[in-house]
Amino acid sequence: MSQTARLLLDSQCQLGEGPIWHPGRQQLFFFDINEQTLFAVTDKGEVVDSWLFNEIVSAAAIVDNDTLALLTDTGLKHFDIGTGGMNRINEIEADKPGTRGNDSRVHPSGAFWIGTMDRTEEEGPIGALYHYRAGELTTLKTGARVPNATCFSPDGKIAYWTDTPTKKIMQVATDPATGLPVGEWTVFADVSEGRGYPDGAVVDSEGYLWNAKWGGSCVVRHAPDGSIDRIVEVPVSQVTCPAFGGPDLKTLFITTAAKNLTDIQLASEKHAGSLFVVDLDIAGQPETLITL
């Protein structure tokens, strides 16, 4: 089965990333990492608000209807949606100016799995994967290049993750109550023969994983055994991350990127970096609130 996503918002982000649907506000929040900007939009593509920061912001978790937890250059911070005010929650690699946050997501237990990477993408595997819950930060992995595809099964018993250049999506058993790994990492899907590189991902209510393909112009739905179930075509090449939203969680929002494209490529991809959407017959999972 194949569908094609349509343009929702001509945002033309340099690096659109980190989309999450806030059910209490009925809004999608997503970032332009390179431009240090956070957007809030409706399911119709109307921009409700946007915020420009003086540091990189790359991911968000929902605290309540008025507050997000933002992953910034220096760690987790409370963000008041109404006032724009920020307060420190926990430092994460604040002593490493060469790294920045990347793909991150909240486990059904309320634990925030947080990825970091080399901000220049030239220094090699200096990133890491962390688990944050109730004030405690635990290192899960080191030596990562570009952490991505962080997502979880509906029952909280499986975590998925990739280091994008490896072209392998990994999985590990997790404790549903804490979100901590309880087993060994194994390969969920080797996508080295497929289109593009594995980027951001999300799991739907049926336990299938939707993975954006950087350089592949699509989002692929993988069955629980890793096989390809369906493909959503996206009319730009650098597809970064999907997120379920809308009133019934059956809308798939898709962020993309324009960075590093040549003038010729940009001429043929006029909406590179924009927000796309496709209507589905499958619901996603609501975002879990972070346990601070």
Stretch 97-107: mean pLDDT: 97
Residues marked as catalytic: 199
Q: What is the mean pLDDT of the chain?
A: 97
CATH topology of domain 2-279: Neuraminidase (2.120.10)
| Tokens, residue 13 | 């982000």
Over residues 213-255, the pLDDT tens digits come to 999 999 999 999 999 999 999 999 999 999 999 999 999 999 9
Q: Which amino acid is at 188?
A: F
CA–CA distance, 36 with 66 (Å, rounded to integer): 21
Instruction: Tell me the CA end-to-end span of the chain in Å, nearest whole number.
Output: 40
pLDDT, tens digit, 9 for 90 and up, residues 232-243: 999 999 999 999
pLDDT value of residue 122: 87
The per-residue pLDDT for 107 is: 98
Would you say residue 20 has pLDDT above 90? yes
Q: How confident is the model at residue 124 (pLDDT cuts 50, 70, 90)?
A: confident
Q: How confident is the model at residue 2 (pLDDT cuts 50, 70, 90)?
A: confident
Region 66-80 average pLDDT: 96
- Top-confidence residue, 292 or 1: 292
Residue 239 makes CB contacts below 8 A (sequence gap 6+) with 196, 199, 212, 213, 214, 216, 217, 218, 219, 254, 255, 256
The predicted model gives 98-126 an average pLDDT of: 96
- Provide the token pair at 22: 């806030």
pTM: 0.98
- Position 106 scores a pLDDT of 98
* Residue 1, pLDDT above cutoff 80: no
